Amino acid sequence: MTKFKSDVEAIDALAQSYKDLSSEIGKIIIGQEETVKSVIISLFANGHSLLVGVPGLAKTLLVSTIAEVLDLDFKRIQFTPDLMPTDIIGSEILGDDRKFQFTKGPLFSNIVLADEINRTPPKTQAALLEAMQERSVTVNGVRHDLPKPFFVLATQNPIEQEGTYPLPEAQLDRFMFNIKLDYPSYEEELEVVRGTTTDKKVELNNILSGEQILSYQNLIRKVPISDNVLEYAVGLATKTRPGTQRATDSVNNYISWGAGPRASQYLVLGAKCHAAINGKYSPDIEDVQAIANYVLRHRIVRNYKAEAEGMTEEKVIATLF
């Protein structure tokens, strides 16, 4: 585990590590700076992320690139309608000594890419989400701890919903961030095509080890936060709950269900990490606002009026500021 003389020195090192990571990932991933930043924040905050975007936006490439520069074990699970919980967790098989032995599934890795998570039945989804929450799995009454660090990046296609099993709101709540990927700009796409249609190969360097990531995750918990910023973060989450004293008019008009207490926790952790990667030793209100969309948009449920009037989750969240 990396040793620092003080937490201030550790935050300086974290900020530099973030710059190094972004630079190295940028050798492969063109553009998508905000997406890369959000994924790194959720990793340092010990949370999981859901990537939502149409096919071809390099979601899988992004995850594999991050795993490579972090020098971590990486497994990709392609979720399909016939995937069973034992296919991802593992199962017990009869060995040569006539005793059952547990064979680990692909879930036993540092970074797991759950590709198109909404294509698999709820039973398999639940097995993954339980592992995300507990950081362990139980097979025949025996608990098996998952490796540390453990980070799940799930992807979802927002336009092709036929034959899929959308994640319920209660299970979406397990994800720290909901990150939406958009199309690249013309200039970025030009650079992508230029770089991917030749035989040029890019060598990536390892920036961080698993031990360093664990030390940064512990550091984020120790970052101090002032009472007014803490109250602002909790207040932001409570404003999303319709019919309550703190709810805004837009929430009462357009939201049928608001964010729970886990949103407040992730707003604080995300703000701490956003401040740290920018070299600040304590978060302010701007840090909370910077990550609010990622934390809140999959935790609020719009009503029919919002859908009819084109009121998106992001528009509602903007009114809370």
CA angle 120, 124, 125 (to 5 degrees): 75
Phi, psi at residue 148, to the nearest 5°?
-115, 140
Per-residue pLDDT of 158-205, as tens digits, reads: 766 666 777 877 778 889 999 988 888 888 888 878 877 777 777 788
What pLDDT score does 289 carry?
Answer: 95
Q: Where are the domains of the chain?
A: 7-210, 224-320
What pLDDT score does 179 carry?
Answer: 92
What pLDDT score does 267 carry?
Answer: 96
Radius of gyration of the chain (CA): 20
Structure tokens at 307: 């859908």
Q: How far apart are CA 275 and CA 187, in angstroms?
A: 30
Topology (CATH) of 224-320: Helicase, Ruva Protein; domain 3 (1.10.8)
What pLDDT score does 163 carry?
Answer: 60
Pick the CATH number of 7-210 from 3.40.50.300, 3.40.50.1820, 3.40.50.2300, 1.10.167.10: 3.40.50.300
Q: Which residues of the chain have pLDDT under 50?
A: 1-2
8 Å CB contact between 281 and 11: yes
Whole-angstrom CA distances from 212 to 14, 146, 149 are: 9, 18, 10
User: Looking at the whole model, is its pTM more than 0.85?
Assistant: yes
Helix/strand/coil percentages in the chain, nearest 5 = 45, 15, 40
